[in-house]
Structure 1
Amino acid sequence: MRKLKWGMIGGGEGSQIGPAHRLGAGLDGAFEFAAGALDHRPDAGRDYGRRLGLDADRAYGDWHEMLEGEKNRPNRVDLVTVATPNSTHYEITKAYLEAGFHVLCEKPMTMTIEEGEDIVRIAEATGRICAVNYGYSGYSLVRHMKAMVARGDLGQIRLVKAEFAHGHHADATDADNPRVRWRYDPAQAGVSAQFADCGIHALHMACFVTGQDVEKLSADTVSCIPSRVLEDDAMVNFRLSGGTVGRLWTSSIAIGRQHGLTLQVFGEKGGLRWAQEQPNQLYFMPLGGRLQIIERGEANLSPEADRTSRVTIGHAEGMPLAFANIYKDLAEAIRAGKEGRPIDPAANLYPRAEDGLRSMAAVFAVAESGLAHGQWVEARPPMFR
């Protein structure tokens, strides 16, 4: 089967996210890295692209040049990943969708709700895939959690508790570090810092696993380091569309926490607990039963989990492999579209533009509620009310 062609914008040399995408896209042999505009410095981007194996005429200086170079090629890229600074996501994603490319955009998909609604409409009008990289939803056991909830193993879901708390921005003397400073600057980060950066991952995972959407929320936001304009800690209560109660804590000043993404789901018949730093184990407690540890890679898990597990039980699968599962989903979706057939249901799990829009609406709702001392506010984007 011919490989699909993949291109990347951003993610250049020294990038934190670029290697994870390149590993993820290439892992299953579905995509060939064919084009890139990898750096905001044109010459550096072209040079790095050639060193990664791109043909000289497909190692581009910027995203405009890549769009012009690819859109009329008979062998143009099938999927473009946007991994540039947040404020550029909307413009680039919009341009590539309108030119007929499928797009995987890093989060946040946009900087405003209005931009997010525009992307949703463009994706629908063009019939192109617009996916958003909530990559943690690619973990095998997260998908098994979703399958267990969907098939009723936990009964009606009463409560979901999500955390994404770390301590890597806890040093007040680090205030002038440019890698930290921009995150708390409204001119560069928008209306939210920690919730927009990490909290929306936890919120998306809560929605992904429960199959419900956030309708309203109440937030307590605080800058524990007083020099920061935007929050470095937030506690959010929320209500989901199926009646589930939600609790979320996100922080960047929690010294001793490293990554800190965890999810707990409590239903009328049992509870589940999973932590990203120990991704191979899912803890399941049935009502009146004994604690069970479900291992990634064990026999007779759900099709969603089996499809996204690559190495034998007892060996760790980490974040790049979770990203690879998003790419695996997208490869199946693109091939299904080309072949005029339905997508494999176990692969139809990649985060959509709608998820990116709902996340942005939640970011603005958290900012609004935080300023209003925890007042409950509408968290749905206008087009979904």
Structure 2
Amino acid sequence: MINGENLVPTSIPWGMVGGGRQSQIGYIHRSAALRDGVFKLVAGAFDIDAQRGRDFGTAIGVDADRCYAEYKTMFATEAQRPDGIRAVSIATPNGTHFAISKAALEARLHVVCEKPLCFTTAEAEELRALAASKNKIVGVTYGYAGHQMIKQAREMIAAGELGDIRIVQMQFAHGFHNEAVEAANPATQWRVDPKMAGPSYVLGDIGTHPLYLSEVMLPALKIRRLMCSRQSFVKSRAPLEDNAFTIMEYDTGAVGYVWSCAVNAGSMHGQKIRVIGSKASIEWWDERPNQITYEVQGKPLQVLERGMGYLHPTALADDRIGGGHPEGLFEAWSNLYVRYAQAMLASDRGDAAALAAIHYPGIEAGIEGVRWVENCVRSADAGATWVDYT
């Protein structure tokens, strides 16, 4: 990766739904997808306001006649072009994800979608079946999984360096919504509106991020049952929560904890994952993403650094510059978009072995995130009771 060689034989013609001038997340999608030349942005339905979307699209270099008023027209029109889009990224409010993803798959497009993929497990499984029938991939943007040290943690755990896994402690607990900021911020308003956000706020919006990191690090660990308590400290957000605690029991006897919070006053992100074994523990914090702390019982704490030769080869494969230089979230997303492109091309040529070897947050990750939120809400709404994980 460091030498910047092309990682795919040709750039994939790519479009966006959403991600316009007022989007909080659109720019990182474009930066990540375009950085390594694996995608080429040629079309978009960037905004619910057609003129505003066209103005924005032309400002970032998209031809005016390929800046569409809405996604259905884009999919139909691009399908008639010999140079039409082959993939689309969806960066719109949660309540639109299912319909747009379904329409894109029906148009035989590969999909990269913001999470949550949809509102219900049944919808997510419908998308899985549709993607399989069309031979298309679905990527879900759990962007933090692109940090190289997540791979290092996965390899250390698989090698038994921590011993038997006992506890997985997770949190994503920021403080930026400690007051009703949505009253003056349209980009935040939909996140606390059940019609657009779905059955949860922080559980789905941020809690699923460390949950997915745990799935990457500990792929064999399966939830057996969970208990969730959720609160709306800013009362106008009810019935959606701005704080939640989830306790999980795994089928191995290990336990896990997830603190999902938007009212942790003074905290920036506060996203951490700590995996505790019978021999040692590791911890990763997204505000210091280039390091993992490795703590062996009875020995001094070690800090493992990104880019160093003592790391596992898979943790070095995505390096973009030598050790000691900080890499950040844009690089992590770029790593994921490279994998999305490689998976799309492998799928298109029917190379099942190559596709199986590419690790990226895909349709199964999307389904699991939706399933986890559903179970958390079910537990919380029943009075924070234990529920079997279904």
TM superposition score normalised by structure 2: 0.91
1:59 positional shift: 2.0
Contact (CA 8 Å) 2:24, 2:187: kept in 1 or not?
Answer: no
Look up the match of 1:314.
324
Look up the match of 2:5.
none
Q: Which amino acid aligns with 1:15?
A: S
Q: How does 1:275-290 map to 2 (within 5 A)?
A: 275-290=285-300
Paired residue for 1:221, among 230, 238, 250?
230
1:102–1:241 distance in 2 versus 1, CA, 3 Å: farther
Describe the superposition over 1:249-271 as per-residue Cα deviations: whole angstroms up to 9, x where unpaired.
11111111111111101122221
> CA–CA distance in 1 between the matches of 2:209 and 2:201?
13
Paired residue for 2:191, among 183, 197, 209?
183
1:177–1:297 distance in 2 versus 1, CA, 3 Å: same
Q: Between the two proteins, what is the percent identity of the paired residues?
A: 38
1:172 positional shift: 4.8
Look up the SS of the partner of 1:203 in the other structure. Answer: helix
1:304 positional shift: 2.5
> CA–CA distance in 2 between the matches of 1:369 and 1:344?
36
Deviates more, 1:328-337 or 1:244-253: 328-337
Paired residue for 2:213, among 176, 191, 205?
205
Contact (CA 8 Å) 1:161, 1:206: kept in 2 or not?
Answer: no
Q: How does 1:225-240 map to 2 (within 5 A)?
A: 225-229=234-238, 230-240=240-250
Paired residue for 2:74, among 66, 69, 84?
66
Paired residue for 1:366, among 351, 372, 376?
376
Look up the match of 2:273.
263
Contact (CA 8 Å) 1:207, 1:214: kept in 2 or not?
Answer: no
> CA–CA distance in 1 between the matches of 2:348 and 2:183?
50
Describe the superposition over 1:288-322 as per-residue Cα deviations: whole angstroms up to 9, x where unpaired.
43321111111142233112221222222111111
- TM superposition outliers: structure 1 runs of 4+ over 6 Å: none
Deviates more, 1:324-333 or 1:170-179: 170-179
1:246 aligns with 2:256: yes
Look up the SS of the partner of 1:40 in the other structure. Answer: coil
Across the two proteins, how many residue pairs are aligned to each other?
A: 379
1:332–1:172 distance in 2 versus 1, CA, 3 Å: closer
Deviates more, 1:180-189 or 1:141-150: 180-189
1:176 positional shift: 6.0
1:340–1:173 distance in 2 versus 1, CA, 3 Å: closer
1:218 positional shift: 0.3
Gaps of 5+ in 1: 381-385
Look up the SS of the partner of 2:236 in the other structure. Answer: coil
Q: Which amino acid aligns with 2:139?
A: A
Deviates more, 1:54-63 or 1:273-282: 54-63
Look up the SS of the partner of 1:123 in the other structure. Answer: helix
Look up the SS of the partner of 1:60 in the other structure. Answer: coil
1:181 positional shift: 4.0
TM superposition score normalised by structure 1: 0.93
> CA–CA distance in 1 between the matches of 2:82 and 2:189?
44
Contact (CA 8 Å) 1:169, 1:180: kept in 2 or not?
Answer: no
Gaps of 5+ in 2: 1-8
> CA–CA distance in 2 between the matches of 1:249 and 1:117?
27
> CA–CA distance in 2 between the matches of 1:177 and 1:51?
24
> CA–CA distance in 2 between the matches of 1:48 and 1:57?
13
C-alpha RMSD of matched pairs (Å): 1.9
